[in-house]
Amino acid sequence: MTTLSTAGQVLRCFSARRQELTVTEVAELLSLPKSNVSRLLRAMREAGFLESVPDSRGYRPGILMFELGHSYRRDSALVARAHAAVGRVSRQFGHSGYVSLRDGGDVIGLTFHEGSRMLRVGTPVGQRLPAFAAASGRSLLARLPDEEVRRLYPAPLAPPSPNAPQDMAELLARLDAVRREGFATACDESNPGVGSIAVAVGGRQPGEDACLCIVYPLSLVDGTERERMVAALLAEAREIQARPGAVAPERAGLRSAAA
């Protein structure tokens, strides 16, 4: 193991839940000697990857991570168009929408358009979910051959709810349905009370796909509205696929703030 890959493992220990970690916690999570972890975390702090939390022994990701995170794919044409498309559907129905990407067996929210109804789903930006247990994730997984999906989940699936696929066979069956129908849906899977509809759009390379997803409170949406949202998302995705090089979306205001 190189120092660099261990450092990567350390960073993966952080999440929205775990915003702060100590030497002992990291040592246990990664099964490493405390001595190594102690030096590694200090070295990562010196290098800017981490910072010490004041009045605490803990470490947290450094401001360098924050800075880098905020220009991620800022000028990707595909993401920009997907974001604009999601925004249109979101405005039309009043439900929140977002664009997400796949990273291995997970999906991560990339951009968000907040819904306009009083009861609305909040932002998933920067959050990681298991792809197999999310509409957005399955819409992206469906673009891979079954064989590759199997490789992404070598261990048995750990479904977060009874509505999620319970094993590989069920997952593959649902992916097949996504391939036939062109969209994926989920109800009460990774997030209780939330339903979602997702359509993937392709980049030039496989693995460079993005996903358009609308999320809504289950209590608010009936079959008719759901079908209209599916149709709207499919139409937007078709438009993106049909004309790969089309216009980027507008940006309002002066470009960047002063101080």
Write down the least CB distance from residue 11 to DNA, Å. Answer: 15
Q: Residue 123, interface with DNA (CB under 7 A)?
A: no
Write down the least CB distance from residue 175 to DNA, Å. Answer: 32
Bridge-based pairing state of the strands 210-217 and 194-201: antiparallel
**CA–CA gap between residue 26 and residue 13 (Å, rounded):** 7
User: Which of 89, 171, 195, 229 is the binder for its own copies (CB under 8 A)?
Assistant: 195
Element (H, E) at 213: strand 210-217
Residue 40 or 213 having the CB closest to DNA = 40
Residues 2 to 61 in contact with its own copies, rule: CB under 8 A: 2-5, 7-8, 11-12, 14-16, 19, 43-44, 46-49, 54-55, 60-61
108 forms bridges with which residues in the sheet? 101, 128
Write down the least CB distance from residue 201 to its own copies, Å. Answer: 15
**CA–CA gap between residue 238 and residue 246 (Å, rounded):** 13
Q: Residue 196, interface with its own copies (CB under 8 A)?
A: yes
Convert residues 3-22 into a mask of x (bound to DNA by CB under 7 A) and - (unbound).
xx-x---------------x
Write down the least CB distance from residue 30 to its own copies, Å. Answer: 13
**CA–CA gap between residue 186 and residue 198 (Å, rounded):** 9
Convert residues 40-79 into a mask of x (bound to DNA by CB under 7 A) and - (unbound).
xxxx-------------xx---------------------
Bridge-based pairing state of the strands 50-52 and 210-217: unpaired
**CA–CA gap between residue 99 and residue 112 (Å, rounded):** 7
What are the C-alpha distances in Å from 2 to residues 41, 48, 113, 144, 246? Answer: 14, 18, 40, 31, 43
Residue 53 or 220 having the CB closest to DNA = 53
What are the C-alpha distances in Å from 71 to residues 4, 21, 47, 205? Answer: 22, 25, 20, 21
Choose the one of its own copies, DNA, none that binds residue 39, judging by a C-beta under 5 to 8 angstroms depending on kind: DNA
User: Which of 11, 15, 19, 39 is the binder for DNA (CB under 7 A)?
Assistant: 39
Q: Which residues bind DNA (CB under 7 A)?
A: 1-4, 6, 22-25, 32-36, 38-43, 57-58
